[in-house]
Structure 1
């Protein structure tokens, strides 16, 4: 009996929404405990603790996101193999990718824990929050392996079209994280350390559950302990795709580290205001990230199935969905940002600065969604090198230039933050040009068949 794959067959609009919605709400639930952390910490542990978490977040993103994006080469392969019905290759890729995640998790946990004080020093963290930042970062990074297994395991399921289980798991995990926040921070009085421990416990639970799902026989892939191994025939093409993605993520994270250092130099109030902005716009970034994942998966599977027209239609529809949702949400937060900021703190200086920050950058979110969709489409056909180069130029290079050369000429925190939307505009222009030339070659493309 033939099983219909809605990503490569049937109505496209409904397939995109059915795929998008569980991932988005799953990510929304996953990020809700970050939002809850900020609310609880800001109200019960103080604005210094809230600033301490955000002051070093760039290094967390660098260590974790680089490895996860490196592994995305494997999920792109899984999508392509699954779309082409090459199930043996799917199985080999799953086992190679999961062992890669476990090994990488142990390595990053050790490096992150040992180097945490060094990372904090490099970030120009003010002395009044130095100890808070070091304590949180060292504890949080100990749970890196759980983060890797959870995210890569969820990526494997999504690559073959299973978005429901990751959604339900994230719902349970997030409720657990919020409960532990209340227990550790308010009940036990552990402060910022309690926030770190609650995240580790919730991620640990989720990683165990994702492994059980993959090994239960209830998903389109079957993970087994005996089958775990690194197969070079899988690892090499995975790294060929993943290394440019990892470098791109590293460049993006490094540029954000430079930007955060610039913000940190203006003191705890500026750090706290920017941290609040990061909590207010997280839904916008979830939409952007989910649209990118959706675009890459649909393009990759249809590339594997030789469906060039459906690839282009998926990209156009993803673009329309993303611009519409991000635009409407940006407007809503723009007019309610003062009230929302007051949920995190009663400090009027922090609230006022947070309002100024958000209202300056909010009109530009719709610009960034364009580059994310086009980048996702290009990655879906297996070209990860050119997006890496564009990220190097438009994001990393420009932001470093902005902080090192432009910011000193007008040394204000608002000038530091202006570097973000300017870099989005530059990146979007470059990705638009790249996609134009890439799409011209898709009309008559053929995927090499081994049958």
Structure 2
């Protein structure tokens, strides 16, 4: 039987073994990682809401769409840089593997520095542009500027963890994320409660914890991963490799940002409904993410699985992986809906404490509506990441346009027709539009791949 794991390194060959088992084994650490990551975000929300106040919670919440658009671009681009790495690993091409790793790191350094400087300078005008309530603006600006200044730390973790996952190692990024999650919680308590640093404390805690996890991933890669030997020959800038990385990575980032523009439009609509709507949606969205981020983790596992198998020319395994991935997502969506139904009032109370009834009821309504349609997001993650894993990230940008249209439509309905209910259905509308496109494209691409083979 072929050995699929390199002893000591944690890397795994996903081109062999039963797809369902492989995807589950690879996705489990990713799911646990996102749960712990969201746990410290959830704890951060609780600490901010209870120790600083609902205005501070609303201020942090109103930055979400910008964070989603700008930091999301960076994160998605880093994930895209991992696709050629996974393909060359699956194809057993060591020369290409090293060149993709080096050139990806160079692109990450340049990207992180440019984004950190530019976004920090324009943070305040952007928040004013989306009609951030005046009583929330000052705290929102102070919070998001620190997050933007910390983009290099965010890139360090996401590129290093993406590289490890592309080599089939999803466990060690999880272990290091677990360390940073507990560190973030501890720093939140330290900076906000005894030191009284307010929203800045929450932002600094997030950046420092990401820096620590990034350093740990980088250390593991250079000291433990086998068969990685950088030399003068493979540590050179390569136009061909940079072009391939840019072709896949930047469209993935652009897709994320196009989708996030819809979130910005939706946030503008929420802001126009008032600070009560902002606080209610912020609390509901934080709780929603606790339940749906594992779906994205399964999608990330699909990208690596598909990338390796595509590199190895195993289109048959890609098709079976899609079917098995959809089974996983459908089952999880049903479990998550039941869990939300059972805990939503308790969870909202945990986040908001003694908030006014209008905010509490708004958060509960948000969770009630959105949880019914979780399965749309689950399937979207399978088909979108499959499309990206096949190397068609430029075409995947259009799915981001679908999300933009869905969120914009929800925002318009909220302001002009449905009120707060429009906010509750904005994300499901976005998922549905994007899913239709991704299913069409994946079906078309796989037919083309089969004819070529």
Q: Same fold per TM (> 0.5)?
A: yes
| CA pair 223-214 structure 1, distance change in 2 beyond 3 A | farther
| CA pair 376-419 structure 1, distance change in 2 beyond 3 A | same
Partner of 1:354: 363
Instruction: Name the CA distance, whole Å, in 2 between partners of 1:219 and 1:40.
Output: 42
Instruction: Name the CA distance, whole Å, in 2 between partners of 1:42 and 1:248.
Output: 32
Q: Following TM superposition, by how much is the alpha carbon of 1:330 offset from its aligned partner in structure 2, in angstroms?
A: 1.9
Cα distance per residue 1:254-306 (max 9 Å; x no partner) = 11110111111112221111111122112333222111111111111111112
Instruction: Name the CA distance, whole Å, in 2 between partners of 1:139 and 1:227.
Output: 36
1:387 aligns with 2:396: yes
Query: Quick one: which of 65, 68, 71 aligns to 2:72?
Result: 65
Query: Quick one: which of 80, 105, 108 aligns to 2:87?
Result: 80
Q: Following TM superposition, by how much is the alpha carbon of 1:10 offset from its aligned partner in structure 2, in angstroms?
A: 2.1
Partner of 1:433: 440
Partner of 2:241: 234
| CA pair 339-417 structure 1, distance change in 2 beyond 3 A | same
Q: Following TM superposition, by how much is the alpha carbon of 1:228 offset from its aligned partner in structure 2, in angstroms?
A: 5.5
* C-alpha contact (below 8 Å) 1:82/1:301 kept by paired residues: yes
Question: Matches of residues 147-186 of structure 1 in structure 2 within 5 Å?
Answer: 147-186=154-193
1:378 aligns with 2:387: yes
* C-alpha contact (below 8 Å) 2:39/2:290 kept by paired residues: no
Query: Quick one: which of 81, 91, 102 aligns to 2:109?
Result: 102
Cα distance per residue 1:101-149 (max 9 Å; x no partner) = 1221121111122112112211211111111111111112111100011
| CA pair 367-398 structure 1, distance change in 2 beyond 3 A | closer
Bigger drift between 18-27 and 220-229 goes to 220-229
Q: Following TM superposition, by how much is the alpha carbon of 1:242 offset from its aligned partner in structure 2, in angstroms?
A: 2.2
Question: Matches of residues 16-415 of structure 1 in structure 2 within 5 Å?
Answer: 16-218=23-225, 221-222=228-229, 230-345=237-352, 346-347=354-355, 348-392=357-401, 394-404=402-412, 406-410=413-417, 412-415=419-422
Report the TM-score when normalising by structure 2. Answer: 0.93
| CA pair 43-82 structure 1, distance change in 2 beyond 3 A | same
Could you tell me which runs of 5 or more consecutive residues in structure 2 were left unpaired when the two chains were aligned: 5-11
Cα distance per residue 1:26-85 (max 9 Å; x no partner) = 222222211110011111111111111110111112111212323333211011110000
* C-alpha contact (below 8 Å) 2:26/2:168 kept by paired residues: yes
Cα distance per residue 1:350-407 (max 9 Å; x no partner) = 1111111111121111022112211221222211222212331x22134334435x44
The number of residue pairs the alignment matches comes to 444
Instruction: Name the CA distance, whole Å, in 1 between partners of 2:177 and 2:226.
Output: 17
| CA pair 356-220 structure 1, distance change in 2 beyond 3 A | farther
* C-alpha contact (below 8 Å) 2:315/2:446 kept by paired residues: no
Bigger drift between 422-431 and 35-44 goes to 422-431
Give me the CA root mean square deviation. Answer: 2.1
Q: Following TM superposition, by how much is the alpha carbon of 1:25 offset from its aligned partner in structure 2, in angstroms?
A: 0.9
Partner of 1:449: none
* C-alpha contact (below 8 Å) 2:34/2:294 kept by paired residues: no
Instruction: Name the CA distance, whole Å, in 2 between partners of 1:147 and 1:361.
Output: 29
Cα distance per residue 1:208-245 (max 9 Å; x no partner) = 22222222243554568997553212110111222322
| CA pair 164-255 structure 1, distance change in 2 beyond 3 A | same
Could you tell me which runs of 5 or more consecutive residues in structure 1 were left unpaired when the two chains were aligned: 447-451
* C-alpha contact (below 8 Å) 1:83/1:301 kept by paired residues: yes
* Local SS of the residue matching 1:124: coil
Instruction: Name the CA distance, whole Å, in 1 between partners of 2:226 and 2:54.
Output: 44
Bigger drift between 73-82 and 150-159 goes to 73-82
Instruction: Name the CA distance, whole Å, in 1 between partners of 2:44 and 2:372.
Output: 27
Bigger drift between 86-95 and 205-214 goes to 205-214
| CA pair 101-342 structure 1, distance change in 2 beyond 3 A | same
Instruction: Name the CA distance, whole Å, in 1 between partners of 2:279 and 2:237.
Output: 44
Instruction: Name the CA distance, whole Å, in 1 between partners of 2:211 and 2:167.
Output: 24
* C-alpha contact (below 8 Å) 1:74/1:238 kept by paired residues: yes
| CA pair 327-12 structure 1, distance change in 2 beyond 3 A | same
